[in-house]
């Protein structure tokens, strides 16, 4: 397994608000820049989108721990299997720390091609979650 981690980010929203938002893919699309992702589709518990040069990605919520963690996994046909965790730690009412982790099952060829875009996507998503107005 290859692991990618975002830096710990700070949000001025409560962990409860962020958790509620991230627990529904119908909201999640607001976090994704339209110029980076194409063909966004969601139905609450799952979503699909295309990222160049990786291809089509599907996500499904597999685990939630109230106001602490949302865990997603690959859904459907994807270039590689992976898990994405969003961890939340509320330090104060207006100070929540956010960390994203991706664990991916990549063969050496896919790892060589996809590592940089995956890390870039993870950094972009962690910034978007931290800076979103909930």
pLDDT for the residue 55? 75
Tell me what pLDDT residue 121 has: 84
For residues 6-29, b (16+ Cβ closer than 10 Å) or e, as one string? Answer: beebebebbbebbbebbbebeebe
Q: Both tokens of residue 28?
A: 């999640």
Read off the pTM: 0.86
Domain formed by 2-131, architecture: 2-Layer Sandwich (3.30)
Q: Is 126:9 a contact under the CB 8 Å cutoff?
A: yes
Q: Nearest CA to 72 among 47, 97, 54? A: 47
Establish whether the linkage from the previous residue to 18 is cis, with ω within 30° of 0.
Answer: no
N-terminal to C-terminal alpha carbon distance within the chain: 33
Per-residue pLDDT of the chain (134 residues; tens, 9 = 90+): 899 999 999 999 999 999 999 999 988 878 877 777 788 899 988 998 887 766 788 899 999 999 999 999 989 877 778 999 999 999 998 999 999 999 999 989 888 888 898 898 899 999 999 999 98
């Amino acid at each position: 397994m290859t692991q990618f981690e975002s830096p710990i980010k700070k949000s001025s929203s409560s962990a409860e608000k962020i958790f509620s938002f991230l627990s529904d893919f119908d909201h999640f699309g607001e976090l994704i820049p339209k110029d980076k992702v194409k063909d966004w589709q969601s139905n609450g518990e799952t979503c699909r989108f295309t990222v160049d040069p990786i291809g089509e990605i599907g996500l499904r919520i597999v685990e939630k721990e109230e106001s602490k963690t949302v865990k997603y996994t690959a859904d459907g046909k994807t270039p590689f299997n992976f898990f994405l965790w969003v961890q939340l730690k509320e330090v104060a009412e207006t100070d929540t720390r956010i960390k994203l982790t991706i664990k991916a099952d990549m063969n050496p060829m896919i790892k060589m091609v996809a590592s940089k875009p995956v890390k870039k996507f993870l950094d972009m998503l962690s910034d978007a979650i931290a800076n979103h107005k909930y």
